[in-house]
Amino acid sequence: MLNSSAVRSLRRVFNEGFAVHDIAEPLVSFDASASVTEVRTFMEERRFEVVGVRDKGLIAGYLEKSELADGTCSDFLHPFDDSQVILDSAPFTDVVLGLRDTPRLFVSLLGRVGGIVTRSDLQKPPVRMWLFGMVTLIEMRFARLIERFCPEDGWKRFLSEARVQKAEELLAERTRRNQNLDVLDCLQFSDKGQIVARNEEVRRLTQFESRRQVEQAVKQLERLRNNLAHAQDIIATDWDTIVLLSENLDNVLLGPPGLRQEDV
C-alpha cells in the first residue's frame, strides 16, 4: 500500500499539477457601445456562443448569441454571477464539477474575468492525461486488493480458463523479454474487475452492493480509458464517468472505487 508521503505526493499531482489555466481560452470581448449586428456576425463566423462585454476597458459581463436582436452590446449584457466564475488556479476537479450544471465557466485572473472554459475544453491533452492517470491508479488498486486477499494465485478460480491462459501466455512472452513480472500483472483491467466482483470477501470490503455494480463500473472505466487512448470524444460518451471520478478523487488516490478508508 502507498504510505502517507506517497499519497500526499499523488494529491499534489492531481490537485495542483493541473489547473484551469492549462485549458482555458481567452474571453473575446467588445465595447458595450459596439453594434450587436457586427458582434453577431463575428460570433457566427467564429462559432462563438458567448463573448465578453467591456465597460471602461474592463470586461464587465457577457452576452449570448441566442439572445441578440437590434441594439448595442450594453442592451444584452449579463453581469457575471459568482457561481459562473472560477479562479485560473482551480484544479480540474472544480472545473468538471462546475461544468456539471452549466455549459461554461468564466475564468478569473487577478480578480478580473479574462477567460472562458467549456466542456469541449475538457477534450484537451492535459485533461486526458489527468483522467488516464486516475484510471491507471484504480487498476493498480484493484491489483493490490487482489494480491492482498487472494494469495498464491487464489484469484484464478474467479476467471475462466481461457482468461487465465491468456494471462499466462502474456507472462511467458514478457519473461522472454526479460521483464520481471507475475501472472497477476498480465491480467486485463476487466479480468481484475471480474475477480473483485466475484470474490465475496473482496467485494464486502467495498461499498459496492452487487457484482453487477462492480462490473458496470469497470466497463465504464475501460471505455473511458480506450477513448482517451484513441483520442475519441470523451464528453459525449463518458461525461457521467468523468464527473464520478472527479467527485471521488480521494477514493481514487487512497483505494479502489468504493473501498472504505479503514480497509486500505
pLDDT digits (tens, 9 = 90+) for 70-103: 999 999 999 999 999 999 999 999 999 999 999 9
In the prediction, which pLDDT does 248 show? 82
pLDDT digits (tens, 9 = 90+) for 27-85: 999 999 999 999 999 999 999 999 999 999 999 999 999 999 999 999 999 999 999 99
| Res 17: pLDDT | 86
Residues 186 and 214 grouped into a single domain: yes
Which 3 state secondary structure label does DSSP give 165?
A: helix
Q: At what angle do helices 161-176 and 189-198 cross, to 10 degrees?
A: 140
Q: Do 131 and 233 belong together in one domain?
A: yes
As beta bridge partners, residue 54 has 31, 59
Answer whether residue 223 shows pLDDT above 90.
yes
- Please indicate, yes or no, whether residues 79 and 190 belong to a single structural domain of this protein: no
Higher pLDDT, 254 or 150: 150
Chosen domain end from 121, 147, 167? 121
What's the pLDDT band for 13 if we cut at 50, 70, 90? Answer: confident
Identify the domain boundary among 54, 86, 121. Answer: 121
pLDDT (tens digit per residue) in 109-134: 999 999 999 999 999 999 999 999 99
Q: Are residues 242 and 152 in the same domain?
A: yes
Residue span of the structural domain in which 24 resides? 4-121
Strand residue runs (E) in 144-252: none
Question: Which of 5, 244, 8 lies closest to 138 in space, CA to CA?
Answer: 244
232 and 154 in one domain? Answer: yes
84 and 162 co-located in one domain: no
148 vs 48, which has greater pLDDT?
A: 48
Residue 209 pLDDT level (bands cut at 50, 70, 90)? confident
What CATH number has the domain bearing residue 61? 3.10.580.10
For residue 208, name the pLDDT band (cuts at 50, 70, 90).
confident
Q: Judge if 246 and 166 occupy the same domain.
A: yes
In the chain, % of residues over pLDDT 70: 91
170 with 183, same domain: the answer is yes
Last residue of a domain, one of 121, 136, 154: 121
pTM across the whole model: 0.87
Same domain, 167 and 52: no
Backbone angles phi, psi at 51, to 5 degrees: -135, 160
Higher pLDDT, 141 or 154: 154
What's the pLDDT score for residue 225? 96
Residues 144 and 251 in one domain: yes
- The structural domain count of the chain equals 2
Q: According to the model, what pLDDT value does residue 100 have?
A: 95
- Looking at the structure, tell me whether residues 163 and 219 fall in a common domain: yes
Distances (CA, A) of 109 to 56, 112, 125, 186: 18, 5, 22, 46
Does one domain contain both 110 and 161? no
pLDDT of 207 reads 66
What is the reported pLDDT for 202?
A: 85
Residues 75-79: contacts with CB under 8 Å, at least 24 apart: 75/36, 76/36, 77/32, 77/53
Mean pLDDT of the region 203-227: 88
